[in-house]
């Protein structure tokens, strides 16, 4: 990555505004998945150990510019405190006199967390005054929020116009891993893509057609491709307005001699419910009163056979409704198989919130080559788009982008 990182600057005694992506799921006031918090630890610890006075900032959820007590960052601060083994203080707001007083009392090696940035509408609007106010807290800006790097917000882009700005260790690792994936991946390079809808992933699939030897499709999005081929799918989710796009993508794959695999069997159920009775059927025999909820065992076997030949794999999106255990077999099988491929030397990169949650739930994260914390950001990067939060950082030659 041709951007300066925390390793390129002296942070001793400096006030460092650290933008992290601590947007984690909560339930009853507790963090249910701390993967993003744990991923931010290396940069936090790096700064603290080198005497920085760290002002940690993040968003949580979508409060749409209004204070929402259910989206306060205290549960995140509590979990971070447990992981660091030290108390993490949190402000009552992201701005204000109280925040300035708290910052003035920070000593070298101290950490202060700001309240949810998105309680201010000015954050997502990339308001110049808000960005200047955030910058006024610090001497240096460190961006470690790869999951928000595709958004030009005040704390990810606007602030960089007022402070020296460098990448954190997580953001650096994300960009380097995805750059290698796109630059010169070891062949054969295969992609596994899933999730509920094809509409949000058309661009990434099209971009990967120039790099991959095979694309394996699962999840609800496979239904739209199957429907485009005339397969009846009962009550399954199908994006009727994307059928033509699906045909276009499959035609492009054929033109570029990229193998495009769709499920040959499926797990179906009358409804998405933990008590629903599921059954496996050929994909051409989905009952009218049933819906596809997972790929079937024959599809898992076919996908595993194809992936067994791959030296590089990019996986984005689950194979079914993996949140419910009776519909998770396909996703879990692919996750375990890819972890095994990584153990045997293949490069396996996982991107996307649900895919990450699946491998984390199975305890496979550390076995894979790279597990991205950025869902939308990783997809846009793979599409070849410039990410505002990365582009805005200072270049290694001393200039800002």
Answer yes or no: 186 catalytic.
no
Instruction: Give the closest residue to 73 by CA, choosing from 21, 123, 151, 142.
Output: 21
CA trace torsion 84, 88, 94, 99 (10° rounding): -130
For residue 364, give every residue at least 6 positions away whose Cβ sits within 8 Å of its Cβ, in sequence order, or none.
335, 336, 339
The phi, psi pair for 227, rounded to 5°, reads: -65, -35
β-strands 140-143, 165-167: how paired? parallel
Taken in order 283, 286, 292, 298, the sign of the CA dihedral is negative
Residue 85 a catalytic site member:
no
Rounded Cα distance, 357 and 201, in Å: 19
Active site residue 305: no
Is position 36 annotated as part of the catalytic site? yes
CB distance 347 to 369 below 8 Å: yes
Of 218, 211, 166, nearest in space to 190 by CA: 211
Q: Which residue is catalytic, options 168, 220, 351, 353?
A: 353
Query: Which of 132, 197, 311, 361 is an active site residue?
Result: 197
Q: How far is CA 184 from CA 146, 312, 379, 398, in A?
A: 22, 10, 18, 27
Gap between the Cα atoms of 188 and 299, Å rounded: 20
Q: What element of type H or E holds 383?
A: helix 375-383
**Alpha helix ranges (H) inside 144-183:** 169-183
Q: Rounded CA gap, 179 and 366, in Å?
A: 20
290 CB burial (10 A radius; 0-12, 13-18, 19+): buried
Q: Which two tokens stand for residue 177?
A: 């891993």
* Dihedral in degrees, nearest 10, Cα atoms 332, 180, 3, 204: -60
- Distance of alpha carbon 263 from alpha carbon 270, whole angstroms: 19
> How far from the centroid of its chain's Cα atoms is residue 172's Cα?
15
Active-site residue (options: 14, 36, 79, 151): 36
Kindly list the catalytic residues: 36, 197, 353, 376
């Amino acid at each position: 990555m041709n951007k300066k990182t925390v390793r390129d600057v002296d942070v001793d005694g400096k006030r460092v505004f650290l933008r992290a992506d601590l947007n984690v799921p909560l339930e009853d006031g507790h963090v249910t998945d701390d993967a993003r918090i744990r991923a931010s630890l290396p940069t936090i610890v790096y700064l603290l150990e080198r005497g920085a006075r760290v002002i940690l900032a993040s968003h949580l959820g979508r409060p749409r510019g209004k204070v929402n007590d259910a989206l306060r960052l205290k549960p995140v601060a509590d979990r971070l405190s447990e992981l660091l083994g030290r108390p993490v203080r949190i402000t009552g707001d992201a701005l204000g006199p109280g925040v300035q007083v708290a910052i003035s009392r920070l000593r070298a090696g101290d950490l202060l967390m700001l309240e949810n940035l998105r309680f201010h509408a000015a954050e997502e609007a990339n308001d110049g005054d808000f960005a200047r106010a955030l910058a006024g807290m610090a001497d240096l800006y460190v961006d470690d929020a790869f999951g928000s790097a595709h958004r030009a917000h005040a704390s990810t882009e606007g602030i960089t116009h007022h402070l020296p700005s460098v990448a954190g260790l997580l953001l650096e690792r994300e960009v380097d891993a995805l750059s290698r994936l796109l630059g010169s991946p070891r062949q054969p390079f295969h992609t596994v893509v899933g999730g509920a809808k094809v509409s949000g992933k058309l661009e990434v699939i099209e971009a990967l057609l120039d790099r991959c030897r095979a694309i394996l499709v699962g999840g609800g999005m496979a239904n739209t491709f199957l429907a485009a081929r005339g397969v009846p799918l009962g009550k399954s989710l199908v994006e009727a307005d994307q059928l033509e796009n699906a045909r276009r993508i499959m035609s492009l794959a054929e033109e570029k001699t990229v193998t495009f695999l769709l499920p040959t069997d499926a797990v179906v159920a009358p409804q998405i419910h933990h008590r629903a009775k599921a059954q496996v059927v050929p994909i051409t025999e989905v009952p009218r009163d049933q819906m596809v909820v997972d790929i079937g065992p024959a599809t898992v076997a076919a996908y595993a056979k194809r992936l067994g030949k791959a030296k590089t794999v990019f996986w984005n999106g689950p194979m079914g409704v993996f949140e419910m255990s009776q519909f998770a077999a396909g996703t879990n099988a692919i996750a375990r198989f890819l972890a095994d491929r990584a153990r045997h030397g293949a490069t396996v990169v996982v991107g996307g919130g649900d895919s990450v949650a699946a491998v984390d739930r199975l305890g496979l994260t550390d076995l894979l080559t790279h597990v991205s914390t950025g869902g939308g950001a990783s997809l846009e990067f793979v599409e070849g788009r410039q990410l505002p939060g990365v582009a805005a950082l200072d270049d290694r030659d001393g200039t800002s982008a």
